[in-house]
Amino acid sequence: MPSKLDQLRSMTVVVSDTGDIETVRRLKPQDCTTNPTLLLKAAEMPAYAHLVDEAIEWGRAQGGSGAVHATCDRLALNFGAELSKIVPGRVSTEVDADLSFDTAATLDKARAFIKAYEARGVGRERILIKVASTWEGIRAAEVLQKEGIDCNLTLLFSLTQAVAAADAGAFLISPFVGRILDWHVKAGEGPFTAETDPGVTSVRQIYAYYKKYGISTVVMGASFRNTAEIEALAGCDRLTIGPALLDQLAADEGVLERKLDASNVAEAPARIELDEKAFRFALNEDQMATEKLSEGIRLFVKDLRTLRGLVARRLEGAQAA
């Protein structure tokens, strides 16, 4: 009997949710996605000191007041370029979370990333630019998609965000399953089964909506707390999964049942029309999505600032030497 991971791969594109290059090499996912938290963890691992050292040396040569931010971008590119040599598909690189409410700055950052990747011989068809699913982020994605730069709309917790992302022509969305569950558990709800898990039901609703209305935007479930959530979404377009859960699936030889199928979708909500006012009001009405989006941005910014602090200290040390 094939493992559940192998069975999952037969019906869903499996993406590795890590910046750990050796883990990606071992698990052989189709795609790979990173974020500030994962990049920070990888940057602190001795195995990748050479990627950090290269970025620091480059940053020292650049100098100037923007050296820290530029060096962090260089570090993200170093990891992204290495990952692109291992996975056959896409690598997601995230725009700074503190730009989540700045469309123009998000566009500048995304274009700079793509230009830098192309200078390294990594074509834009290999990269997804990760942008927070704020109104401003979605508007940036709309422009980037028209320029041939595919986007991954992250920190997505609601059908409202999913509809707006699809209307903008986003290549892919990353609904956060586990964080939705976290909110409901903290609110005193449950216990939940895999079938009643609010994160699972949210992704199933989005999937049904997209398939019913012929929307081509890829649905990639993310942020899993256990393998039961993953199994409950077997058949989803893509699933991005952390190494520990991938290992659990690889060790399990039970039967994995397909739960999602584009040719046989569940009942979907009526078609939703959104302008900016309707988007903001609908998101505000969804307490869970509003709180988790805000929290998610804060947490990513916290880790981004920690990474910048690490880089700043290294740059100062390099200059002193």
Which residues are designated catalytic?
Answer: 130
Q: Is 214 helix (H, G, I), strand (E, B) or coil?
A: coil
Residues 229, 178: Cα–Cα separation, whole Å: 8
Residues 9, 118: Cα–Cα separation, whole Å: 29
Residues 100, 130: Cα–Cα separation, whole Å: 11
Q: Which residues on neighbouring strands pair with residue 151, listed in sequence order?
A: 129
SS (H, E, C) 66-114: CHHHHHHHHHHHHHHHHHHCCCCCCEEEECCHHHCCCHHHHHHHHHHHH
Closest listed residue to residue 141, CA positions, set 105, 170, 175: 170
Extract long-range pairs of 254-258: CB within 8 Å, 24+ residues apart: 254/1, 254/4, 255/1, 255/7, 256/4, 256/7, 256/8, 256/231, 257/231, 258/11, 258/234
Closest listed residue to residue 206, CA positions, set 294, 260, 146, 268: 268
